[in-house]
Structure 1
Amino acid sequence: MGIHRHTEADGTAVVTVDYPPVNALPSDGWFALAEAVREAGRDQSTRVVVLRAEGRGFNAGVDIKEMNADVGHTALIRANHGCFEAFAAVYDCEVPVVAAVQGFCLGGGIGLVGNSDVIVAADDATFGLPEVDRGALGAATHLARLVPQHLMRTMFYTAGKLTAQQLHHFGSVYRVVPRDELDAAALEVARNIANKDGRVIRAAKRALNGIDVQDVHRSYRYEQGFTMELNLAGVADEIRARFDDDLAARQKGH
């Protein structure tokens, strides 16, 4: 359990997220993920990073239980900072990051894949931001990198989801493969990158970030301010409490 990193012989670093049961990361997990990606990028023998996850889904966002257990706003602030650091680490990684996505990719998962360079997805992958249903905001910055503007707004307001096949249609997902072929497909793309001259690949990453039309760090930080407002106003606590009650009722019904 936790964040694990290993390096393939060709210079591909693999960072694995493993927080069962659904990969909802606690604050410390986001910081650990950020450090693992940064360390991989700083290693001059690394030419590409594959970001993957164990379990049913790629990422379910932040650990809501951690926030609900906190009587103040410490957990929220740490989660905000942790997500910011993890998303930034992927975007600023000195080499390209290939995201391998299976199952659900929600909330913070969108921040990770939206800031990655290449996305390979299993055919069961779905993508969405349930933030509005949780009394929070955030990661619209990153969703806007995956879908057109009006679709992003519709998904955000409705907390709707899109499939890997739909994102492949928009060109944001590079390949869609059967679940049992996901790791191999991600590594295939990574090896194609790793076979290039590492000096050129690192320069290319800097160049592409330098010509990006959106400052993802500032934009996401702006969104986080509204999440804090909703929490200070008590709105988020009220909605999260309803979510917990609904979840308990559904579990009891089963």
Structure 2
Amino acid sequence: MGVSTSAPEAGLAVVTVDFQPVNALPVQGWYDLAAAVRTAGCDPKVRCVVLTAAGRGFNAGVDIKEMQRTAGHEALIGANRGCFEAFSAVYDCEVPVVAAVHGFCLGGGIGLVGNADAIVASEDATFGLPELDRGALGAATHLARLVPQHLMRTLYYTSRTVTAGELHRHGSVWQVVPRAQLMDAAMGLAREIAAKDGHLIRLAKAAINGIDPVDVRRSYRYEQGFTFEANLSGIADKHRDAFVSAKEDRS
């Protein structure tokens, strides 16, 4: 369990997240993910990184149970900083990152795929930000990279999800395939990217990041300040407690 990196073929690195049962990452998990993506991108032999996950879904965000059982603000600060590092690592990766998404992609998962260069998803994939239901704010920055502005606001305010098919129609998901074909499809796209000149693909990634109309690091950091404000006011604890209690009742 954790974050692992493999090199299945020349030019490609696959970073796999595996935090069972639902890939809700603890604080250290976000830092480990950031380190793995950065290390893969810095390898001169790598020309494309595939980001994927094991288990039931791609990502369920932060480990709220860890946050609630930790006294004070240490876990909240750690989660904020860890998410910032992981999202930034994907965005700043020296080579393109292809996200291979299955099942649920929620909260922090949106931060990862919103900063990826391309997304391939399985037919059962769903995307959303349940932040308001969890006493948090954040990753609207990244959701806004997947859907138009007014849809982003509606999804954010309602905590609703959208399907891979809907995102494909908006152009943010490159390809939607049956779940059994997800890795083959993601690897196929990554292989096509990795066939380019390694030096040029790095220059292309830097150039595209340089012309982005929104500084995703600064805008996400701004959002995180409101999460901390919600926590200090006591609102966040109330919602996180209710979420943890509901999960325990169902189990």
CA drift of 1:151 comes to: 0.3
Q: How far did residue 6 of structure 1 move?
A: 1.0
CA deviations on 1:42-65 (whole Å, 9 max, x unpaired) are 000000000000011000000000
- Aligned residue type for 1:191: R
1: CA distance, partners of 2:28 / 2:145:
26
Report the counterpart of residue 236 of structure 2 in structure 1. 236
| C-alpha distance in structure 2 between counterparts of 1:179 and 1:243, whole Å | 29
**Gaps in structure 2 of 5+ consecutive residues:** none
Q: Which amino acid aligns with 1:97?
A: V
Q: Superposed, which structure 2 residues align to 1:172-251 within 5 Å?
A: 172-251=172-251
Question: TM-score of the superposition, structure 1-length normalised?
Answer: 0.98
Shift of 1:9: 2.4
Q: Offset of 1:8 from its aligned partner? A: 2.7
Question: What is the CA-CA distance between 1:70 and the residue it aligns to?
Answer: 1.1
* 1:1-254 → structure 2 map (5 Å cutoff): 1-251=1-251
Tell me the SS of whatever aligns to 1:3. strand
CA distance in 1, matches of 2:245, 2:27: 23
Identity of aligned residues (%): 67
The Cα offsets for residues 162-216 of structure 1, whole Å up to 9 and x where unpaired, read as: 0000000000000000000000000000000011100110000000000000000
Contact 1:123 1:176 in 2 (8 A): yes
What do residues 26-51 of structure 1 show as CA deviations (whole Å, max 9, x unaligned)?
00000000000000010000000000
What secondary structure, in the 3-state scheme, does the structure 1 residue paired with 2:3 have? strand
How many residues were matched structurally? 251
TM-score (norm 2): 0.99
Partner SS for 2:182: helix
One-letter code aligned to 1:185: A
Q: Is the 8 A contact 1:10 1:195 kept in 2?
A: no
Question: After the TM superposition, which of the residue ranges 34-43 and 238-247 deviates more from structure 2?
Answer: 238-247
Classify the secondary structure of the residue corresponding to 1:57.
Answer: coil
Unaligned runs of 5+ in 1: none
- Report the CA distance between 1:245 and its aligned residue: 2.5
Partners of 1:242 and 1:18 in 2: CA distance: 26
The CA RMSD over aligned residues, in Å, is 0.7
Deviation at 1:7, TM superposition (A): 1.2
* Letter of the 2:10 counterpart: D
Which SS does the other structure have where 2:105 is aligned? strand
CA distance in 1, matches of 2:59, 2:245: 23
Secondary structure at the aligned position of 2:85 is classed as helix
Contact 2:64–2:244 (CA<8 Å) still a contact in 1? no
Secondary structure of 2:56's aligned partner: coil
Query: What amino acid does structure 1 have at the position aligned with 2:216?
Result: V
Give the 4+ runs in structure 1 shifted more than 2 A: 244-251
Letter in 1 for 2:52: R
1:134-177, Cα deviation, whole Å (9 max, x unpaired): 01000000000000000000000000000000000000000000
CA distance in 2, matches of 1:8, 1:201: 20
Please tell me the residue identity of whatever aligns with 1:65: K
